[in-house]
Amino acid sequence: MIPNYILSNINEARINLFRNKTRTLLTSLGIIIGITSVIILIAITNGARSVIETQLTSLGAKTIMLKPFVRTASGFSTGRGQNFNENELNLIKNLDSVDYLAPIVKASEEVNYRSTSNIIALVGTNPDFAGINDWKNISGSFITENDVKDATKVCVLGLTNSRRFFGAEDPIGKKIRINGIPHLVIGVLEPKGLTPGGRDQDDFILLPYTSLNRLLFRPDMSNIVTVLMSARSSEELEYAKFSIIKILRETRNINPGEDNFDISSYEGVTKKILGTTKILRILLTSIASISLIVGGIGIMNIMLVSVSERTKEIGIRITIGAKSRDIVFQFLCESALLSLIGGIVGVLLGFIISKIASTIIGWPAIVSLSSVFVAFFFSGGIGIFFGIYPAFKASKLDPIMAIRNE
Amino acid sequence: MAFPYRSQRDINMSNTPLLELSGINKIYKMGQIDLQVLYDVSLHIYNGDFVSIVGPSGSGKTTLLNIIACLDRPTSGTYNFFGEDVGLKSNDEMSEIRNLRIGFIFQSFNLIPRHTALENVIMPLHYSSRFKNSSFKDLGLECLEKVGLSERVGHYPNELSGGQQQRVAIARALVTNPEIILADEPTGNLDSKTSDDIMELLKNLNKSGKTIITITHDNEVAEQASEIIKIKDGRVI
């Protein structure tokens, strides 16, 4: 509970500030502008960050790739480490820091539909594949767990293959032949276009990895040479990699340096890009802080005016027994409240303006709770800091002279 | 000189002075020049006294009152307040004396304009840890009743007549139940009828046991007191 002494001082400050509404508003304008701009800037850079992060996710920034280690001699492969078994994959899948895990089986086989025939890249995987590279369907559905379990003869087409075989026709529900065996088309994926290197990212057909293995007459797990995973967030990427390495070393009973697997990710890119947004945010926030300091000086100025206006009152208070600290506290309460009013108005304005701005610029504005708290503490702190000098000046008044002041 | 009424001191027969000033000098430094305002002032004020300090303006009576009020310190000399040397007290201890043991009444009332009568009266209570917040209102109302202003508790100073404002100030002076009331020209801004009422109130307070010290240049006011201290050119005469 707040002691009554503080409450009565806050009440005193409230009476004084509300008596002079125009002045209070004008004085806190500096703080209002400062806090408003800090809130907007943080909201918009947060929004930008989340947009960048989603884009990075679709580029695979949270993706971890696991492969057996390939031994090379003079540039030629001389053998490779063991493949991953189901137990290892289950342990990895159960990690908190890992969201998705998709085994990858690759092949190139002949595909035909009516008179069209072509050799197409086939990718055998599971439902998690969609989450890892942010693949979405433009029509139909995706591979399900049951498809994987039962090795159903279904497939999902990349947009290039949908166009190649079906043209303008709707491929859903049609059957294409892969190595002569009919597979039901259940979905078409949203296009991702070309890579910077000119490779078509949509020229492939997805199957359940069990179905592809069966098609190629291979046992279920033997051909899993690549495993794709995605970390829950880009911040957790390193931790996820560390945990995966630990699991594999434990199950395989190997020491560091003897790893017979290869783990890689694109964390460097993520770090650089997110680092840039951080620098941007620090820069913009420090520019906004200048207006907070200017606002603080405004508060100091008006508190000095207020002290000299109330010289007589201060004289009366000291005469009837107020100690220096009572006077200091009274004026600090007033400057802190003045600044906090600015802070509250600033947070509200900042919230409204960033919502409006976000609809105009078309990316989300995220007003975080932490930025609101920081704004409150900052504005209160500025009020106290810039109120110290006027408050001490008031407390040092000579009551004999002060009380004669009219 | 005939005193208009019997002083409380005669009834108490107390011999130790409440306030004891001896050899008080006060020198103000005005740049290069030293301005001596009080010369070797010594006086004793006993419990229950009603003392008037009189003198022309510039005689040093206000400076003397400030020293008695613990608002100012003498340049030399000792001042014992209830047997304790004020010269050894810290500023905070002097504030506490003013808060708890002295009630102040001024010529210009000195109420705070944006506070109601009641809020003005209870203001000294905020500066002491001796009183509970829950008791503030009752203490304030009690004092306003003593000065006959029970009807005006919620009024602001500018809604009150001069006499009423001075009554609020007296209630404020009484609220911490101090032993001493210091009144600086308490009737200076009032008409004669109201002045009489205020003086009557002070006399009644004196009867109820308060020690009252007033400074005035109004002889009519001074003559109400049981003792008159005349001061001229910084010396008690």
**pLDDT per residue over A256-303, tens digit each?**
877 888 888 876 666 677 777 778 778 877 887 888 888 889 899 999
Q: How far apart are CA A264 and CA A67, in angstroms?
A: 9
Size of interface A-B (CB pairs under 8 A): 54
Select from B98, B106, B112 the Cβ nearest to the Cβ of A321: B98
Per-residue pLDDT tens for A315-337?
999 999 999 999 999 999 999 99
In chain B, residues with a C-beta closer than 8 Å to the C-beta of A5 are 126
Q: How far apart are the CA of B44 and the nearest CA of chain A, in angstroms?
A: 23
Q: What φ, ψ does residue A358 adopt, rounded to 5°?
A: -65, -35
- For position B1, what pLDDT does the model report? 41
Q: How far apart are the CA of B178 and the nearest CA of chain A, in angstroms?
A: 11
Q: Is A1 on the interface with B (CB under 8 A)?
A: no
Q: How far apart are the CA of A34 and the nearest CA of chain B, in angstroms?
A: 32
In chain A, residues with a C-beta closer than 8 Å to the C-beta of B96 are 321, 323
Instruction: pLDDT tens for chain B, 237 residues: list them.
Output: 444 454 555 555 556 788 999 999 999 988 888 899 999 999 999 999 999 999 888 888 889 999 999 999 999 999 999 989 999 999 999 999 999 999 999 989 999 998 999 999 999 999 988 888 888 999 999 999 999 999 989 999 999 999 999 999 999 999 999 999 999 989 888 888 898 899 999 999 999 999 999 988 888 788 888 899 999 898 988
Find, among A120, A205, A198, the residue nearest to A156 by Cα: A205
Per-residue pLDDT tens for A90-115?
888 888 888 899 988 888 899 989 88
In chain A, residues with a C-beta closer than 8 Å to the C-beta of B115 are 15
Q: Are A3 and B129 in contact (CB under 8 A)?
A: no
* Residue A324 to residue B66, Cβ atoms within 8 A: no
Q: Is B123 on the interface with A (CB under 8 A)?
A: yes
Report, as ranges of residue numbers, the positions in chain A whose pLDDT lies below 70: 1-2, 57-60, 71-81, 220-223, 267-271
Q: How far apart are CA B185 and CA A402, in angstroms?
A: 18
Select from B66, B95, B172 the Cβ nearest to the Cβ of A400: B66
Q: Is B60 on the interface with A (CB under 8 A)?
A: no
Buried b (16+ CB within 10 A) or exposed e, B180-214: bbbbbbbbbbbeeebbebbbebbbebbeeebbbbb
- For position A3, what pLDDT does the model report? 72
Q: Is A405 on the interface with B (CB under 8 A)?
A: no
Q: Would you call B217 exposed, middle or buried from its count of C-beta atoms within 10 A (0-12, 13-18, 19+)?
A: middle
In chain B, residues with a C-beta closer than 8 Å to the C-beta of A312 are 110
Q: Is B96 on the interface with A (CB under 8 A)?
A: yes
Task: State the ipTM, two decimals.
Answer: 0.91
